A = this chain, B = another copy of it.
Amino acid sequence: MTSTATSMEFDLDGAPLGDALMEALDGPYHAARQEARDTLTVDELLRDPGMTMDQARAWTLAALSHLATKGYGNRGFPLPGRPADPAAVVVGFEALSHGDLSLTIKAGVQYGLWGGAIEGLGTDEQIARWMPDIVTATHLGCFAMTEMGHGSDVQNLETTLTYDAETDEIVVHSPTPAATKTYIGNAALHGTSAAVFGQLWVGGVCHGVHCVVVPFRKKVRGKGVDLPGCETGDNGPKGGLLGVDNGTIRFDAVRVPRANLLSRYGGVTEDGSYSSPIANPNKRFFTMLGTLVRGRVCVGAGAAIAGRRALSIATRYALSRRQFPNPDGSGEVVLLDYLWHQRRLLPGIAKAYAFGFAHNDLIDLLVRCRAEAVPEELQRSLESRAAGLKAAESRFANDIVQVCREACGGAGFIAENGLTQLRSDVDIFATFEGDNTVLMQLVAKGLLTGYKEQWTGLDRRETMTKTADMVARMVLERTAGRGLVDDLVATARRRSSEASVLDRGWQLLMFEARERHVLESLARRYQRAARAPKGQLFDAVNEVQDHLLTLARAHTDRVVLGSFVAGIETCTDQAAKRMLNRICDLYVLDNLESDRAWFTDHSLMTQARSKSLTKTVNHLCAELRPDALALVEGLGVPEEWLGSAMLVG
């Protein structure tokens, strides 16, 4: 490793600004996040990347148990006498996301999914019955939702949960091979019970998807043996997350007591009849799924942190590695001095900050929705935002980890340098806890909710007015830091053609105008599509699928920017605040640059302005370059946690 830049130089320049940036980005969760940084060690968090699958699984299980004793992974889950603390759950998951992602996901499966199913869908009695052994990682379990035949389409799961009045039991059954539960964490080896999702049948009537706790394996001298009627399998080697024992479970008329049916939103009474506080089956289904939203919040955060980690490694490497002589004769050039290297890494860092602020707001929203009886609209807003951010963050993570790997050249491909396992592990974040494409359609459809009904009988002109109203209402109601944003936008609107591209009001106006325009035009197209005659409905709706995804992106980008702007306002360190404003500029202009065709196509930007964006992004990169180390320090991944041999050597 050739490096003449000493770490001394870095420390002198970087540390105070880096700390201030980190504190700002940590926001209201600074104390909890700092505690993790002060407490967890790299040995607890990272495994040797050379481990075989079997070794990785054993290490991950041991690390899970060890960290449970330190209160990591399991923090914030409800116990008798201890209420749930959703922020602690998310921040705890985030802490583990700085390390081996198998460990993170193993903890997520055990506490967040298996425990979360009971916490979200179980009665108080059921929570008291199961949670104590779950949060100590004593009773290992599974979240058995996905089936071979139905991954994204949960509403049409095939597994049946049939109430047998004779014996007062629930009969759990996989009627076809396609009904086999698959990709289930903890199913291949370590789990002994599962929260199994299936269609609940009571007295010959199907009440839709419910969840029941099913013991499926017992430990005999430390080895797992399938219980009668349960057949497990091992998904074997995967593209990553080798430490998580994903597997299959198939049920052949397995009987469990009625009391195992998680009954908060629907169950079978003592007299054998179905009962639910929510009459509408569709609403019940979405309410039940809604309780599981925390998983998406966690997974999005975890992905974003994987991105931060990769950026921390690649940026530090780019600050020490030199290649090719400087034509001006002053030795070899530091990688990060190359424009293109800056363009690869710095906009990624800006995105990482943007998602960080957006995530803090999302946690706040989660906490609000869990603490009080909130209007249904707010709960829907939480679900939509969690879905959109999860998709955006996992896309970001996949893309930026690859960019970082490539930016480190051959060294990036050697496992001990810390990027390859990250790359493998983060891949599936684009799929689990909701396939990104499916999630983004959810976001878009959420924004369109209500349109169909309200428009019946309106003509084209009325429709347009109505649409504009709804958009305004939604845009107005659903963003963090609303007052500030409104003021900036209002000012910018009065002089949008002369405003500088660095004018925050103009930037916000562009993000809002894009969302508004995409939503308005989609609403009209969607309304037409929904009127297609039977037999042509699929084609009609299918034709706007790309438009749906565009809307989801535009919406999520706008929400993220709102959080970024609001987050900067709360920063009290002036140097950090100035820097955050530059980072925010880079975030915005990088976004606008890649989407500038849309803006010129829709006359929201002139050719000249569109052409100027590249130059401005380049200038911003050059401006941020000297503080690159502080920027990654601000991302909050302690240098000791990076575990990258090339940064030590």
Contacts and interface: CB of A to CB of B under 8 A. Distances in A.
A538 B333 contact: yes
Given A50-B53, A151-B323, A546-B618, 6 more contacts: A2-B148, A150-B323, A183-B413, A183-B414, A236-B414, A340-B545
Interface string A334-349: 0001111001000000
A280 interface: no
A238 B618 contact: no
Given A339-B543, A398-B402, A427-B413, A328 B152 contact: no
Given A427-B405, A537-B328, A545-B340, A419 B239 contact: yes
A435 B409 CA distance: 7
A279 to B, nearest CB: 23
A541 B146 contact: no
Nearest to A146: B410
Contact of A546 (B183, B436, B543, B614): B614
A219 interface: no
B343 A546 contact: yes
B601 A607 contact: yes
Contacts of A546: 339-340, 343, 614, 618
Interface in A471-492: none
Cβ-closest 8 pairs across A and B: A239-B420, A597-B597, A237-B415, A339-B545, A50-B237, A183-B410, A327-B537, A2-B149
Contacts of A2: 148-149, 178
B535 A413 contact: no
A649 to B, nearest CB: 9
A538 B327 contact: yes
A1 interface: yes
Contacts of A431: 406, 409-410, 412-413
B435 A240 contact: no
A596 to B, nearest CB: 5
A292 interface: no
Nearest to A53: B50
Nearest to A339: B545
Given A239-B419, A607-B600, A1 B148 contact: yes
A490 B343 CA distance: 38
A238 B2 CA distance: 22
Contacts of A178: 1-2
B236 A337 contact: no
Nearest to A612: B601
A553 to B, nearest CB: 13
Contacts of A538: 326-328, 333, 337
Nearest to A597: B597
A235 B535 contact: no
